[in-house]
Amino acid sequence: MREPSPRRTRASRANHRPNPSPAGEGGSRPQVGLFRAREDANGSAARLRRFGFSVVCLPVIEIRPSPVEPPRLRYDAVIASSDKAFLSAPRLDKRSSLYVVGARTGRAAEARGWRLASPPAREARELITTLTAVLKPGASVLYLAGRDRKEAVEAALAEKFELEVAETYAAEAREAWRPSEARALSRCVAALHYSRRSAGLAAALAKTAGAEACFLNLKHVCLSRDVAEPLQALGATRIAIAETPDEAGLFHTLREELGGFPSLGSSRIQGPRKPRARGDGRRGNRGRSGWADRRAGQSRRAA
């Protein structure tokens, strides 16, 4: 995911203010909840803190590698849509052509000694299009995937190729938050949601912790409408959808909803300034006139 720039944009002209809450009073920084796996949340939290937010990581899943041995060593293509696919290292011939979704997935693959057959696709549909263009019908394809996943990639590829799936990791749901994590949730004013599953699990853990009402009252910023659906079904009404389906879009929408990045203050854009005419007596021109007077004085003394 691309990292957003802290510059001010048109989306912030409304100059909204954060919703009143203990976390936003007294000049303290608004606190945002992240429910991603801790490995993913740490990077997102660091970026949010650079923009002046306070962040609490409340992971709803734990990532565990799953040792697996595919039935063959070499395939016409190996694919992966998550960097977690390379947490385990199944025995494979790395001369197989590798195709991935996302730059981070590509970096994780290269760290394991793989070479990419093409630049990382931006999304799954782009990966499917690429494979359809470069592989012959019936080619052997190995999908390095998680145990819990959407079936769109498999459904599209199974129609054209000899597809095998190797589950190299599992994103296991946590049973409960610790008491300290539940207390931290009560101080949040907003939450970012990256996936439909993690949004639903966060709601379930909040209910288990006796904090369902607090959770539903948060400003929920979701990566897509699909991600927001479990929250809407539970009665959450303060939901915003990211401008674009990536982390940069989430951050910019969060900024719009809470009135700007705290480290920058208000992100309201001022109108263009009128050009200053020469000799209008303003400070900038007085400074220039003073510089000319000093040069003239130096010339007279030299003469």
pLDDT tens-digit profile of 215-250? 999 999 999 999 999 999 999 999 999 999 889 999
- Let me know how long the chain is: 303
What average pLDDT does the segment 81-101 reach?
Answer: 94
Tell me the C-alpha distance between 280 and 76, whole Å: 74
Which pairing describes strands 31-34 and 54-57: parallel, antiparallel, or unpaired?
A: parallel
pLDDT tens-digit profile of 166-196? 999 998 999 999 999 999 999 999 999 999 9
Asked whether this chain's domains 11-60+177-264 and 63-173 adopt the same fold, the reply is: yes
C-alpha radius of gyration, the chain, whole number: 26
Kindly report the pTM of this predicted structure.
0.66
pLDDT at 58 over 50: yes
- Domain 63-173 CATH assignment equals 3.40.50.10090: yes
- Domain boundary assignment for the chain: 11-60+177-264, 63-173
Task: Decide: helix, strand or coil at residue 62.
Answer: strand
> pLDDT confidence of 271, banded at 50, 70, 90?
very low
Closest CA to 194 of 66, 102, 303, 120: 102
Q: How confident is the model at residue 259, as a pLDDT? A: 81
Residue range 11-60+177-264, CATH number: 3.40.50.10090
Residue type, 98: L
pLDDT at 35 over 60: yes
pLDDT at 15 over 80: no
Tell me the C-alpha distance between 129 and 120, whole Å: 12
213-to-4, 151, 196, 235 alpha-carbon distances in Å: 31, 33, 20, 10
Q: How confident is the model at residue 151, as a pLDDT? A: 86
Q: How confident is the model at residue 291, as a pLDDT? A: 40
Q: What are phi and psi of 119, to 5 degrees?
A: -60, 150
